[in-house]
Amino acid sequence: MKFGILLTSVYDASVPAARQKAEHEELVRTSEELGFDLMVAGQHFLGSELRYFQPVPWLTHMGGVAPTMRTATGIVLLSMVNPVEVAEQMATLDVLTDGRAIFGVGLGYSPHEFAAFGVEKGTKVARFEESLRLVKALWSGEQVDIEGEYFSVSGAQPSVRPVQPGGIPIWIGGQAAGAVRRAARMGDAWYSPPFPTHDELVDLRRLFLDTRAEAGLALDGDFPVRRELLIAPTREAGMEAALERYRARYETYKKWGLSGENTPVGDGSELRADIENRFVLGTPAECVDQLGALGEKIGMSHFVYKPHWPGLAHRDAMAQLEEFGTKVLPELAA
């Protein structure tokens, strides 16, 4: 098992951008020292509650701060952005990080983002699939002639291409069955978000592998997984911290359009049960046992860890990272 660190946003515009940059630099520098293999940065547009800097330039800089770590977009909203620009941006990242880039992509869910990019309701899947086919073609080194419904390229043979043989690995995110099948058909891996319960994660992993097998595709590739993880003196203390952080983060997601089974439900025992089904929490030894058991069950190749939460001081997030890196990571890596 390898380990990734998520460079998530926990600040709005009231916090100086230089502070966010410095904290992420400290995060990746420390993660590299602790043995993390990967850094991941996501994408959102027009956010007011949480400030997301765009992932390709952000990862280019952070990749220089921690030069042994791989860099992954997690995720680029490919149904909204221009695939020609994204193909060349990602190829540039791959060159500047000496072939350490991973292209994580997904559909997105926020109505205000789709509206800003003029993406009509009901077209995001078709736009995503057409865009991904075009990106792959532009990385191939062959002449590209594609007449699509949304994008067309004629007689192009780009010189801006990845340095990794065969192109940049493609991780496709999503938690619905259709998204998992799409990841199996069109990507190199399914990048699981933290929303599915532990049992749902097992079922969706099986769906991914079955779809790959039906298509005659390899079954031994990466399986990167995000789970919310909290280390605490006791499991109950971890639950109390999770209750506070869960509400803070997912209230923002709901404002952005995430709904249904992907957001907290109820209060009290109902919310506690929801956290039990989605989080890894407790003492370091308990986290080792839970994460190790889950990893064995689903064949996880990468665990992507998020130390930052809205309202949590950076020093406390770094303390969590140090504890994870010294007490959990070595046990699982061994």
Structure tokens at 44: 């959102």
Euclidean distance between CA atoms 279 and 226, whole angstroms? 10
Mean pLDDT, range 50-59, rounded to an integer:
97
Spans of all domains in the chain: 2-234+281-333
Euclidean distance between CA atoms 196 and 262, whole angstroms? 7
pLDDT band at 100 (very low <50, low <70, confident <90, very high): very high
pLDDT band at 168 (very low <50, low <70, confident <90, very high): very high
Q: What is the pLDDT of residue 269?
A: 80
Q: Indicate if the pLDDT at residue 25 is higher than 60.
A: yes
Angstrom CA distances, 220 to 25, 47, 91, 186, 188, stand at 33, 37, 25, 15, 10
Mean pLDDT, range 121-127, rounded to an integer:
96
Architecture of the domain whose range is 2-234+281-333: Alpha-Beta Barrel (3.20)
Euclidean distance between CA atoms 332 and 16, whole angstroms? 37
Q: Indicate if the pLDDT at residue 49 is higher than 90.
A: no
Euclidean distance between CA atoms 155 and 144, whole angstroms? 6
- Point out which residues pair with 302 in neighbouring strands: 2, 224
Q: What is the pLDDT of residue 310?
A: 87
Q: What is the pLDDT of residue 245?
A: 82
25 vs 246, residue with greater confidence? 25
pLDDT band at 328 (very low <50, low <70, confident <90, very high): very high
Q: What is the pLDDT of residues 186-238, one digit of tens each?
A: 999 999 999 899 999 999 999 999 999 999 999 999 999 999 999 999 999 99
Cβ neighbours of residue 319 closer than 8 Å, sequence gap 6 or more? none
Euclidean distance between CA atoms 142 and 145, whole angstroms? 10
Percent of the chain's residues with pLDDT above 90: 87
Question: Mean of the per-residue pLDDT values for the chain?
Answer: 94
Euclidean distance between CA atoms 330 and 193, whole angstroms? 24
Supply the pTM of this predicted model: 0.94
Q: What is the pLDDT of residue 255?
A: 64
Q: What is the pLDDT of residue 271?
A: 85
- Point out which residues pair with 161 in neighbouring strands: none
Q: What is the pLDDT of residue 257?
A: 63
Q: What is the pLDDT of residue 251?
A: 67
- Kindly provide the residue ranges of all beta strands, DSSP E only, lying in the chain, ordered along the sequence: 2-6, 38-41, 70-73, 76-77, 101-106, 144-147, 152-156, 170-173, 189-191, 224-226, 228-231, 279-282, 302-305
pLDDT band at 65 (very low <50, low <70, confident <90, very high): very high
pLDDT band at 279 (very low <50, low <70, confident <90, very high): very high
